[in-house]
Amino acid sequence: MTSSALVVPTGMKDETHAGAKARARARLFGDFVREVPFAAALLDRDLVLLAVSPAWTAQAIAPRVAVGDDASDLVAAEDRAALLACAHEGADFSRYLPADAEDGSRRFWRTEFNACKDERGQVYGVMVTARDVTGYAESVLRAERDEQRLRMALELDDLLVREYDLRTGEMYFSDTAPELKKWCAFKEDPLEIVHPDDRQQCADVMASRKIGEARVFEFRLKRDDGIETWIRAVGKVFVDKDGQPEKLVNLFKDITDRRRRTEAIETLAFRDPLTGLPNRALFQHRFNEAAAASETLGEKFGLIMIDIDHFKDINDTLGHDAGDALLKRLAGMLRHAFRSGDTVARLGGDEFAVILRGLHGEADMMRPIQNLQTLLRRPIEHGGRSFTASASIGAVLHGDPEADPEHVIKNADIALYRAKEAGRNRSVLFEPSMRSEVERRIELLRDIRAAVEASEFTLFYQPVVDIRENRVAGFEALMRWAHPEQGVLTPARFMVAFEDQELSLRLGDLALEQALRQMRAWLDQGVEFGRVAVNISAAQFRSGRLAEEIQERLTRWNVPSQRLTIEVTENVYMGWGSDLVSENVRKLHAAGVMIALDDFGTGYASLANLRQFPIDRLKIDKSFVQNAEDEAIVKAVITLGSSMGMKVVAEGVEDPEQLEALIRYGCDQIQGYHFGKPMPADEVVGFLAGFGG
């Protein structure tokens, strides 16, 4: 008897997996719905009723639909398409729904249907909230049975009307919503009633309003009792027969309950739990709104991308608690630096973004950026320690309604990259010329990653000659890219890889492993190669375990530590985390590994630094060796190294004249084309055999 396996198509597997995740997310959200203090229900994507709140049950809303049932009957037949669109496409909607209660009475519910989305914007359920408006509905029905007028009247429920005479200063109120009346009166300025945190946003709306134009805006009232009250307001200035402003009329509605329901849903689906800022999903929604306003109304908006400089180092050295403290501190700085109406979002990790609507020009965007940079200079206290942080910022202004707004995010990222490339701790405004350069860099990085996977990177070895003893003292291992089409490429052609932390780590790891493997092979062959020097990048120090990792590799390859030299540039010694670098270098030096300070004179090391760190070799950069005008510098470095017990190696020696001068100055060792170019490992034995012959 034979058996056969059921083969499920890949697309179906993905759909099944996505559906399972959506159902799991909905079940978790159901726990929240069961506890909310208002009438609420949760449907899954298949319109099955998953959970209801106590108020939903107590008020007998939709009593014929129980948990586990198909909830399509919550709406009339003509509205089921809208309910399906909400469950699958995220299209929110609301309805006034009549329903017969179990006691025979007829109730009316103002019902909101809101899609619940995960961090990727995928709908996993529908949140339903209901408000009983029966009393008002019945009174209107008695006066007028027309359904359309009923809906209009319900929309105007609990409205307060305020009329302000712009000439006499007299103020009149309707007799509705008495609770609002005492908080909506002002003495001189209409903005007096607005909470201070919302005042600027309201001022911007009022300033942009034209005479005779009605504008809608939402704000919190300024209340002496501290109770948070959200208002939805409509304002319009009326003119007299001569066209002069005569009176300001406002309609006010208390929307506090609605805001709280919205905020409760947003907190779960659209807020970053650590900082409380909008997350990536809400950022994308707000960005789409800004792009739509730009396209239809010609509104200018700005986008700012922000990355914390060396955030991983802070986590690795000070701990994740310090990293979290920094993220929360930056969130507070961003709220303070930008307007309350701007969207400040955390996209993930140390990535933040800001959307600024209604801009007039670049200056409106750069001012808050300058404020943010000022705030960043303040030290942060955490766990009894004080530290500072900086940020790289990329900004772009979108003001062309014909341009594709999708390019805005890419352009802001390009500007951010340029800020990092220029040394970090700065802001860069996007310019179109930047795009082609970054695209070339991205393409090159992609090629380099593929080359690493294909094992196209290898080491060449350049001899270091002791000119006093006329012998080869060792070799420096130099990375080369054996490109299948372009031949052997030097680091100048792939230097961009060392600016990328991930690639820098991979190439550094590759160089160390290849060098040790080659040293083991030479030792097995009885080749007297001296020492091999390997360059170490800043990225390799960031783990904090470089000394241990190198010693473990030396042991694994059975290579004596006295055979290895590590070369570290001045900028790595003196840069961010210099304490970490110093600690690891000391451990390696104590284990017998030789330490060389590479490219001496091109960075910013001081004499005090030379005394502080364990350094066996000073390497004079070839730019000094090859320039006759720098003769005094070369002499000074050789004298300095000799006085401090260090050997001095001159790089880039290419002709006999340079060699003779260095011999006169008392230089110890030479490296350059005069003695030998970097060569593949299989040429080293022949070079050693023929040296001095």
User: What's the pLDDT score for residue 160?
Assistant: 82
Query: What is the CB neighbour count within 10 angstroms for residue 233?
Result: 22
Give the whole-angstrom CA distance, residue 363 versus residue 316: 37
Of 66-80, 139-153, 535-549, 661-675, give the lowest mean pLDDT range. 139-153
- For the ranges 81-85, 160-164, 265-269, 458-462, the one whose mean pLDDT is highest: 458-462
Q: In this model, does residue 119 exceed pLDDT 80?
A: no
* Residue 519 structure tokens: 């040293």
pLDDT: which is higher, 299 or 263: 299
Dihedral, CA of residue 428, residue 433, residue 435 and residue 440, to nearest 10: -120
pLDDT band at 26 (very low <50, low <70, confident <90, very high): confident
**Helix (H) or strand (E) segment spanning residue 343:** strand 343-348
| Ranges of H-type helices in 90-189 | 134-143, 147-155, 178-181
Mean pLDDT, residues 206-225? 82
Q: Tokens 């129980």: give the residue.
A: 66
Q: Measuring CA to CA, which residue among 432, 459, 324 is closest to residue 380?
A: 324
| pLDDT tens readout for residues 462-496 | 999 999 888 999 999 999 999 999 999 999 889 88
User: What's the pLDDT score for residue 149?
Assistant: 47
pLDDT band at 156 (very low <50, low <70, confident <90, very high): low
Mean pLDDT, residues 364-384? 86
Q: Which CATH code of 3.50.50.60, 3.90.1150.10, 3.40.50.1370, 3.30.450.20 fits the domain covering 26-151? A: 3.30.450.20
Q: Measuring CA to CA, which residue among 289, 307, 300 is closest to residue 415?
A: 307
Q: Which CATH code of 3.40.50.720, 1.10.540.10, 3.30.70.270, 1.10.1040.10 fits the domain covering 271-431? A: 3.30.70.270
Q: In this model, does residue 57 exceed pLDDT 90?
A: no
pLDDT: which is higher, 593 or 422: 593
Q: In this model, does residue 294 exceed pLDDT 50?
A: yes
Mean pLDDT, residues 673-679? 93
Q: Measuring CA to CA, which residue among 472, 501, 586, 532 is closest to residue 316?
A: 501
- Mean pLDDT for all residues in the chain: 84
Domain boundaries, the chain: 26-151, 158-258, 271-431, 449-686
Of 92-106, 290-304, 315-329, 358-372, give the lowest mean pLDDT range. 92-106
pLDDT band at 138 (very low <50, low <70, confident <90, very high): low
Mean pLDDT, residues 327-345? 91
Length of the chain: 693
User: What's the pLDDT score for residue 340?
Assistant: 83
Residue 98 bridge partners (DSSP): 108
Q: In this model, does residue 666 exceed pLDDT 70?
A: yes
Q: In this model, does residue 603 exceed pLDDT 60?
A: no
User: What's the pLDDT score for residue 609?
Assistant: 61
User: What's the pLDDT score for residue 5?
Assistant: 37
Residue 253 bridge partners (DSSP): 159, 232
Mean pLDDT, residues 371-381? 86
pLDDT band at 565 (very low <50, low <70, confident <90, very high): very high
CA dist list (Å): 68 to 29, 48, 100: 15, 6, 21
Q: Measuring CA to CA, which residue among 568, 551, 480 is closest to residue 516?
A: 551
User: What's the pLDDT score for residue 147?
Assistant: 46
Torsional sign, CA 296, 299, 300, 305: negative
CATH of domain 449-686: 3.20.20.450
User: What's the pLDDT score for residue 544?
Assistant: 78
Q: Check residue 422 and report its DSSP letter.
A: T
User: What's the pLDDT score for residue 483?
Assistant: 94
Rounded (5°) CA angle 163-166-170: 55
pLDDT: which is higher, 18 or 485: 485
Mean pLDDT, residues 557-566? 96
Mean pLDDT, residues 199-212? 80
Q: In this model, does residue 460 exceed pLDDT 90?
A: yes
User: What's the pLDDT score for residue 575?
Assistant: 56
Own/partner pairs, 355-358, CB within 8 angstroms, 24+ separation: 355/283, 355/286, 355/287, 355/290, 355/301, 355/302, 355/303, 356/301, 356/302, 356/303, 356/304, 357/290, 357/293, 357/299, 357/301, 358/204, 358/208, 358/299, 358/300, 358/301
pLDDT: which is higher, 457 or 315: 457
pLDDT: which is higher, 349 or 216: 349
Q: Is 158-258 a CATH 3.20.20.80 domain?
A: no
Q: In this model, does residue 459 exceed pLDDT 90?
A: yes
For the residues of 438-485, what is the DSSP string, one character each? HHHHHHHHHHHHHHHHTT-EEEEEEEEEETTTTEEEEEEEEEEEEETT
158-258 and 449-686 in the same fold: no
Per-residue buried b or exposed e for 36-65, using 16+ beta carbons within 10 Å of the residue's own CB: beebbbbbbbbbbbbbbbebbeebebbeeb
User: What's the pLDDT score for residue 602?
Assistant: 62
